[in-house]
Amino acid sequence: MKNLYKYIITLFLIGLFIIPVNDQLNAGNKDRSGQAGAGELLINPWARSSGWGNVGTACVHGVEATFGNIAGIAFTQRTDLNFSYTDWMKGSDIGIYAFGLAQKVGEAGVLSISVMSMAFGDIEITTVDLPEGGIGTFSPKYLNFALGYAKAFSNSIYGGLNIKLISESISDAKTQGVSIDAGIQYVTGELENIKFGIALKNVGPSMKFSGDGYTVNTTIGHLEQRSSQFELPTALNIGFAYDFLFSESRFTLAGNFTSNSFTKDQFTLGGEYSLKSYLMLRAAYTYEEGITKGITDEERTNALKGPSAGLSVQVPLNKEKGSVFSVDYSYRPTDQFNGTHSIGAKISF
């Protein structure tokens, strides 16, 4: 693992150059919206970090760092277990389940395992001859499995890598893929309250669907269609955070810039208030071009409105060992639906 830090730095330097070049060659990333696949890789399934708009690139810790910045799992002291359920755009019948485990190994390393599954409910099967259905239902299955490792290289520098296996399928078509995340967090200041982070996410080869769903029986014989390849939604996140420390409370101000290779770039500003580490309140606003327009405006390409908010109630289980249990909730308002609600539970011991 001695060269892990060098590999991460190299990967980020490549990302810093490749993503802007790709945007220029394709007349800006907003014109590429909808051309990537595996869009679930851009959805934060965790209740705590989604409450302040994924702004924690510089300060997210524990299992939730497997989405925000894999370097953050390096702050796990012993064992961290998370579970979260998201009612995605309430009324759409889409549910997201997430489970993760982070375990400290050795003096400075942490291993993580996380799973994200999307359930779409039962969808009516239709054919050319039966466009109204009536012959049964099918249910798409999205499943992402991730294995991560992070390490504290010093008291200030933390880095990590995350390998994700991607699976999307229905009864007669499926695809699998793999992607890599890498991240660094840097902590400085006399009180270690100044933080910076950078994360390169969803870097991997193209994916392609295959299966019996691409074959058609016609009067002239058995025809097989070809599926086009699609790219992964690579993103580069750069963030900062500053902790204002008081006698019995803390307020963290954080900002984040996201360079999306297939959608619009985003700017997020958020804050989190913690009272004795028992109650945490957080909120953020994410801006992208056209986010304030009406949902029918051609400049609007996101069903999320921009604001997000959440809270956590945390109870100590063993003060000597630092064991805690918390319940987290977040809300993200949306157009045309009744918002996105996430609820989760976390135990650290």
Average pLDDT rounded to a whole number, residues 213-233: 78
pLDDT of residue 25: 38
82-91, 101-110, 126-135: the lowest-pLDDT one: 126-135
Q: For residue range 152-165, what is the model confidence (pLDDT) as tens digits? A: 998 899 999 999 99
- Output the CA–CA distances (angstroms, integers) from residue 76 to 106, 128, 158, 241, 305, in the order listed: 12, 54, 12, 19, 33
Confidence of residue 8 (pLDDT cuts 50, 70, 90): low
User: What is the rounded (10 degree) CA torsion for 312, 155, 11, 27?
Assistant: 50
Average pLDDT rounded to a whole number, residues 242-262: 93
Give the residue from 120, 125, 161, 122 showing the smallest Cα distance to 143.
Answer: 120
Q: Report the helix count and the strand count for the chain, using DSSP H and E.
A: 3, 18
Asked if residues 178 and 164 have their Cβ atoms less than 8 Å apart, the reply is: yes
Q: Which letter, b or e, does each residue of 195-204 get, where b requires 16 or more Cβ atoms within 10 Å of its Cβ?
A: bbbbbbbbbb
| Distance, CA of 57 to CA of 83 (rounded, Å) | 20
Structural domain that includes position 121: 4-348
Average pLDDT rounded to a whole number, residues 320-337: 90
For 31, residues 6+ apart whose C-beta sits below 8 A from its C-beta are none
Backbone phi, then psi, for 24, in 5-degree steps? Answer: -70, -40
| Distance, CA of 207 to CA of 230 (rounded, Å) | 5
- Percent pLDDT > 70 in the chain is 89
Q: Which of 41-45, 130-134, 170-174, 208-212 has the highest mean pLDDT?
A: 41-45
| Distance, CA of 326 to CA of 61 (rounded, Å) | 14
Number of domains in the chain: 1
Asked if residues 45 and 63 have their Cβ atoms less than 8 Å apart, the reply is: no
14-23, 154-163, 287-296: the lowest-pLDDT one: 14-23
3-state helix/strand/coil string of 101-158: EEEEECCCEEEEEEEEEEECCCEECCCCCCCCCCCCEECCEEEEEEEEEEEECCCCEE
- Looking at per-residue pLDDT, the higher value among 45 and 227 belongs to 45
Give the residue from 153, 89, 3, 148 showing the smallest Cα distance to 295.
Answer: 89
Average pLDDT rounded to a whole number, residues 38-44: 92
Q: In whole angstroms, what separates CA 299 from the centre of its chain? A: 24
Question: Residue 64, CB half-sphere, CA atoms under 13 Å: how many?
Answer: 26
Whether the CA torsion 40, 46, 49, 51 is positive or negative: it is positive
| CATH number of the domain bearing residue 25 | 2.40.160.40
Confidence of residue 44 (pLDDT cuts 50, 70, 90): very high
- Residue 151 pLDDT more than 50? yes
3-class secondary-structure state, position 303:
coil
3-class secondary-structure state, position 27:
coil
3-class secondary-structure state, position 72:
helix
Token pair for residue 134? 């009536």
Q: For residue range 48-89, what is the model confidence (pLDDT) as tens digits? A: 999 999 899 999 999 999 999 999 999 999 999 999 999 999
Q: Report DSSP letters for 75-90, one per residue.
A: G--SEEEEEEEEEETT
